[in-house]
Amino acid sequence: MAHNQSRDIAVIGGGIGGLTAALAFARSGANVTVYEQAPALTEVGAGLQITPNGARALDALGLAQALAASGVTAEAVVPMDAMSSKEITRFDLTTQSPHYRFYHRAALIDILARGCDGAGVTVKLGAQVTALYPDGSFETNGETVRPALTVGADGIHSVVRRAINKPSDPFFTGQVAWRATIKSDRTDPVARIWMAPGRHMVTYPLLGGRLNIVAVQERSQWAKEGWHHADDPGNLRMAFADCGWDAKSILSKVDDARLWGLFRHPVAANWHSGAIAILGDAAHPTLPFLAQGANLAIEDAYTLARCCDEDAAIEAGLRSYQAKRRARVVRAIEAANKNARKYHLGGVQRMVAHAGLRTLGKMAPAAFLNRMSWLYDHDVTA
Ligand SMILES: Cc1cc2nc3c(=O)[nH]c(=O)nc-3n(C[C@H](O)[C@H](O)[C@H](O)COP(=O)(O)OP(=O)(O)OC[C@H]3O[C@@H](n4cnc5c(N)ncnc54)[C@H](O)[C@@H]3O)c2cc1C
């Protein structure tokens, strides 16, 4: 331990993964600089679920109090029949420790940024990395930086991933998604999954009386990746027009909707090379059907800093990092891929699946959490 002491670490990207990595390295004594291309550390106006596995790592980095004050503690996951507006069952989350919570994305970034500031991390804004060399040095704003380790936390279009991996093509999954938030008095602290043939929507409350909405529809074609394309809210309402009153009433309040195509990316073969590592979406973007992209990025960040701290040779630490993380990440991504199919069933399959969920909820209410134990009970800090 303590090999990170006074190491110079550069983190490319100031999103959830990058800021968590910066904080984790700084807590173990490293000199950390974050290079973020945007002029400010901000996030889109949407929500995010932090599950106990992610919260455990954030708590261990000293953020427990701030997290408790800034999120809504989830009481249950509630699968709904979107056509009849009926609750199918309810899976209790109140026994989860640490808590499962809902956050504004900007609030989470703010907590991480304040944590980094307190731990002495330097954040350089407007600092796009334009070239990366095999020894880990890189160019930004006309400056050449030569750290002991370069961490690529630069998201789904990562330049760092491309520098250490063969190019790989994402493919369209046949699904598009809208995200929106609305003002709402539906503030009970549960995540509802509204299921309909070929579509579903997930809603949960955020602090400040807003409801976060992610709605997914199967579609045969899509061109652009990226989740900032504005869309007419009427298209979202149209996609769910034959659903029951409750789902339609939620969507009737949407006045700003963003639409994007859902793509699948292969998990990167190499998460490190020399003194370069990647994490989060840069290494393994995932579909949003298990709410794990940010949680996995947080787990990666914590594990990366710890593995490097445990080894005098950075490359040995990086090997240990990838060995510890890859199989778990692949399992989570596969589980997310399967969820979409389960939510979108039609006809007899749908009736059978809903009846199965109802029975499970009545006969074995703990079964949901038992099934998720591999995910939520995992402890990267152990
Ligand atoms: C609708 C939706 C809902 C989701 N809900 C959840 C959820 O409930 N729970 C969950 O765990 N996950 C969720 N996710 C996934 C989660 O948002 C992502 O997996 C997570 O934000 C990835 O974090 P990251 O730090 O790896 O990348 P990003 O957040 O993409 O951060 C990358 C950063 O790098 C910067 N950057 C990029 N290139 C450069 C460069 N060349 N130089 C400098 N800076 C650069 C970018 O500006 C950005 O700030 C959801 C995703 C979507 C789309």
pLDDT in tens, 71-123: 999 999 999 999 999 999 999 999 999 999 999 999 999 999 999 999 999 99
The answer, yes or no, to whether residue 367 has pLDDT greater than 90, is no
Is the CB of 35 inside a 6 Å radius of any atom of ligand 1?
yes
- CA of 281 from ligand 1 middle (Å) equals 6
The DSSP bridge partners found for residue 30 are none
E strand map for 82-189: 86-87, 91-92, 101-104, 122-124, 129-132, 138-140, 143-145, 149-152, 171-183
Q: For the whole model, what pTM was predicted? A: 0.96
Ligand 1 center from residue 285 Cα (angstroms): 9
224 has pLDDT over 70: no
List, in order, residues 6 or more apart from 376 with CB less than 8 Å away: 51, 52, 53, 96, 100, 369
Q: Is 128 in the pocket of ligand 1 (CB under 6 A)?
A: yes
Give the whole-angstrom CA distance, residue 329 versus residue 266: 12
Alpha carbon distances (Å) from 66 to 108, 224, 302, 311: 9, 37, 18, 31
d(CA 310, ligand 1 centre) in Å? 27
Ligand 1 geometric centre to CA of 122 (Å)? 20
Of all residues in the chain, what percent are helix, strand and coil, respectively (each to 5)? 40, 25, 35
Q: Whose CA is nearest to atom 3 of ligand 1?
A: 288
CA atoms within 13 A on the CB side of 335: 14
Cβ-contact 12, 104 below 8 angstroms: no
What are 379's two structure tokens? 């402890």
- Asked if the model's pLDDT at residue 189 lies above 80, the reply is yes
Q: Is 297 in the pocket of ligand 1 (CB under 6 A)?
A: yes
Residue 229 pLDDT > 90: no
How confident is the model over 302-341, as pLDDT tens digits?
999 999 999 999 999 999 999 999 999 999 999 999 888 8
